[in-house]
Amino acid sequence: PKITYVQPSGSSETFEIPIGNSVMQGAVNNNVSGVPAECGGAAACATCLVYVAPEWVSRLPARQLLEESMLDNDDPKYAQLRLSCQVKVTEELDGLVVEVTAL
Ligand code: FES
């Protein structure tokens, strides 16, 4: 499945990410900047935070409680927030677009 990573500047890169990887791993393995993923995928650091493109929000599996607890309720784009380490790549996610956040 192809995943597109958009930078805050507007530039974007698209990569083929293996099924079963997380969206975060796909970014790290392809040297996408803005995804330091400091905790290595444990939902503990929030440095893998992304904004999911609006049309994709309802197409992703729901957040788990641990992920939910790391997200900022006050963010105006809260509905689009995900920890990319908690989103597993599946065939259904082909074409997913996420914007990395500038931390
Ligand atoms: Fe740390 Fe996702 S990599 S929360």
Q: What is the CATH number of the domain that holds 6?
A: 3.10.20.30
Could you tell me the pTM of the whole model?
Answer: 0.96
Q: How far apart are CA 28 and CA 71, in angstroms?
A: 21
Quick check: CB of 44 below 6 Å from ligand 1? yes
pLDDT for residue 103: 63
pLDDT, tens digit, for every residue of 46-103?
999 999 999 999 999 999 999 999 999 999 999 999 999 999 999 999 999 999 997 6
Cα(82) to centroid(ligand 1), Å = 10
Assembly ipTM: 0.99
Q: Which residue out of 48, 67, 68 has the highest number of ligand 1 atoms within 8 Å of its CB and is therefore the one to mutate?
A: 48
- pLDDT tens figures, 9-40: 999 999 999 999 999 999 999 999 999 999 99
Provide the residue range defining the domain that includes 21.
2-100
Cβ-Cβ contacts under 8 Å for 32 (sequence gap 6 or more): 5, 13, 15, 26, 100
Q: Is 83 helix (H, G, I), strand (E, B) or coil?
A: strand
Query: Which stretches of the chain are DSSP H helices?
Result: 23-29, 65-70
Predicted local distance difference test score (pLDDT) of residue 50: 98
Q: How many domains does the chain have?
A: 1
The 8-class DSSP code of residue 70 comes to: H
